[in-house]
Amino acid sequence: MSSKAIHFVSLGCPKNRVDSEVMLGVAERAGYAATDDPSAAHVIVVNTCGFIDTAKKESIDTILAMAAHKQSGSCERLVVAGCLSQRHPEEIADGLPEVDHVLGSSDMLKLGRVLDGGAERMLVGQPADWVVKAADPRVISTRGASAYVKLAEGCNRKCSFCVIPQLRGRQRSRSADDVVREVEQLAAAGVLEVNLVSQDTVSYGRDLGGDAIETGVTGKRFDSGALTRLIERIADVPGIRWVRVFYLYPERLSDELLELLGGHPRVLPYVDMPLQHAATGMLRRMRRGHGGARLRELVERMRLKVPGLVFRTAFIVGHPGETEAEFEELTDFVRWAEFDRVGVFRYSDEPSSHSFELADKVSSRTSYDRARRLMAIQRKISRKKNRALIGRELEVLVEGPSEEHEWVMVGRHAGQAPEIDGAVFLSGESVEPGTIHRARVTQVTDYDLLAEVAEGSEPLGQGGALGRRVDLAHRTSDGRRVTLRTVS
């Protein structure tokens, strides 16, 4: 067995993070020890994002920064993987001679060939066709007793601004049994919270041929029955306390799914649904398949059906053709809906996207100004919602010491997703990572909460198959603590 060190940098979304965790598992299986210090690593892996211009630039900058360790550190091989190399394999190979091996977005398991020695330089599979399996090696890198679980890979949508289908391929759903098997493994290792992700979660299972409804004139329409049944099975895995669903496309969700989100004790009333815009003209140019009126109906229906709903969404500003009037319609929509969480992205003009061919480009300065204005509106909404929590007692999943103040413990309540929704800073009774405690909110900021754990508080849930209090973050199977450097 090798005793060499390996360093990982994972850029982009949680789906990419799962891929990086699989490569961490592959490296561990090959006998490599993960290190936080790139200068001490014999192999460095950069798992890239290639979705928009800023992500591509950050990926290239990171590759060059890691390549410097081939001169000043111990690095013998630099490996580049992920979406950027899937999209531009030849450009990376030709333009970055420092890179020793190039893997795509479906080539995580090929890292084993690289580490064994003798692998060719170009290892990008075309098309992307891999889907993670429960049997694949994986090292969880999220803090506390939390983990992401991929339900599917790829996407069949044709949104005008998006190149994900080109990077990740067509939708490929995992079997429900395999997903549940992975959740059972995670629960046995101490995970309390599973975060379900894919490119288009509401479409889970449709490529497998299930849940088609005969509609007479229009043929077949798919509902979310396969997803609903899968979430129910996941929530029933012993040891799992929180199930959170990400990336639902804004189509009509079945009553059964909404009832599950609103009524199951372990399925959180939390929805991540990127709406992208609210003006009908813009949604049409974005090829979203619906108009603004339907989005209002959807938001109203979800609020009615899911008590205590926490709604996270995302919008794009500066898309070609976006007028000031359409932007104002978006701001009115955000004020009306009072979403709990909002992400705002400036449009990125990607050459292989449909939007790239559209006229009436919006200037960078205008898109920047619109993003700033929209976030200012949302900041006030967030502050108002957080203030309403003062004095309330919440269940908090303890993640570990705060990065700002190591003597302060930090966690998340059920309405906060990992890494993107703010945090709860804890005072009072001492608590341990990987446990759930009740804490009373005492102060708030725009996005974070301060809460006090009651004296003598006992954990409501704790990770570990035998009730052990464990912190799974950055731990390999033999207990070594590592850090997966992630950049969103």
CB 374 within 8 A of CB 331: yes
Per-residue model confidence (pLDDT) at position 463: 62
3-state DSSP assignment of residue 399: strand
Per-residue pLDDT for 25 more than 70? yes
Span 385-397, average pLDDT: 96
Q: 136-140, 141-145, 147-151, 369-373: which range is least confident on average?
A: 141-145
Which residues fall within 8 angstroms of residue 44, CB to CB, at 6 or more apart? 6, 7, 8, 9, 38, 66, 69, 75, 77, 78, 79
| Residue 259: partners with Cβ closer than 8 Å, 6 or more residues away | 305
Query: Is the distance from CB of 305 to CB of 255 less than 8 angstroms?
Result: yes
Contact between residue 6 and residue 111 where contact means Cβ atoms under 8 Å apart: no
pLDDT-derived band of residue 222, with 50, 70 and 90 as boundaries? low
Between 66-70, 146-150, 209-213, 471-475, the lowest mean confidence (pLDDT) is in 471-475
Q: CATH classification of 393-462 is 1.10.10.60, yes or no?
A: no
What is the structure's pLDDT at 465?
40
> In angstroms, how far is CA 76 from the centroid of its own chain?
31
Secondary structure, 3-state, 86-109: HHCHHHHHHHCCCCCEEECCCCHH
- Partner residues linked to 343 by β-bridges: 314
pLDDT at 216: 41
Amino acid at 486: T
- The phi, psi pair for 146, rounded to 5°, reads -135, 150
Q: What was the pLDDT predicted at 471? A: 44
Pairing of strands 77-82, 146-150: unpaired
Average pLDDT over residues 72-87: 93
Name the least confident of 104-113, 203-212, 458-467.
458-467
Residue 224 pLDDT exceeds 90: no
Pair of tokens at residue 174: 């995992």
Q: How much is the pLDDT for 483?
A: 57
- Checking DSSP bridges between strand 172-173 and strand 152-153, what pairing results, if any? antiparallel
Cα 110 from Cα 408, distance rounded (Å):
41
Which residue type occupies 112? G
**CATH architecture assigned to 146-387:** Alpha-Beta Horseshoe (3.80)
Residue-level pLDDT at 213: 42
As a whole-number percent, the residues of the chain with pLDDT over 90 amount to: 79
Q: Give how far Cα 258 sits from Cα of 299, 313, 435, 472, Å.
A: 12, 17, 28, 31
Domains in the chain: boundaries: 5-130, 146-387, 393-462
Rounded Cα gap, residues 415 and 418, in angstroms: 10
CB 280 within 8 A of CB 292: yes
Q: Which of 388, 410, 384 is nearest to 144 (CA)?
A: 410
pLDDT value at position 488? 53
CA–CA distance, 476 with 102 (Å, rounded to integer): 25
Handedness of CA 99, 347, 270, 340 (dihedral sign): positive
Stretch 235-252: mean pLDDT = 94
d(CA 136, CA 443): 43
Of the two residues 215 and 82, the one the predictor is more confident about is 82
Does the pLDDT value for residue 58 go beyond 50?
yes
322-344: average pLDDT: 97
d(CA 465, CA 201): 29
Q: What is the pLDDT of residue 477?
A: 44
The percent of residues in the chain predicted with pLDDT above 70, rounded, is: 91
CATH of domain 5-130: 3.40.50.12160
Indicate if 146-387 has the same CATH topology as 5-130.
no
Q: Tell me the pLDDT tens digit for each residue of 194-203.
A: 999 999 999 9
pLDDT confidence of residue 215: 38
**3-class DSSP state for residue 410?**
strand
Residue 12 zone, left/alpha/beta (φ > 0; ψ -120 to 50; rest):
left
Q: Name the pLDDT band for 223 (thresholds 50, 70, 90).
A: low
CA distances from 237 to 18, 261, 442 (A): 21, 17, 34
Q: Is the pLDDT reported for residue 17 higher than 60?
A: yes
Q: In this predicted model, what pLDDT tens digit does every residue of 341-385 receive, in sequence order? A: 999 999 999 999 999 999 999 999 999 999 999 999 999 999 999
Tokens at 192, concatenated: 């309390």
Mean pLDDT, rounded, of the chain: 90
Does residue 480 register a pLDDT over 50? no
SS3 30: coil
Closest of 105, 103, 98 to residue 75, by C-alpha: 98
CB of 157 within 8 A of CB of 196?
no
Q: In this predicted structure, what is the pLDDT of residue 137?
A: 96
| In contact, 309 and 282? CB cutoff 8 Å | no
Mean pLDDT on 135-162: 94
Q: Is residue 168 classed exposed, middle or buried when 0-12, 13-18 and 19+ CB atoms within 10 A define those classes?
A: buried
- Average of per-residue pLDDT across 384-398: 96
Per the model's pLDDT, the better-predicted residue between 406 and 369 turns out to be 369
Q: Which ranges of 129-169 would DSSP assign to H, the alpha helix?
A: 164-168
Q: How many CB atoms sit inside 10 A of residue 375's CB? A: 16
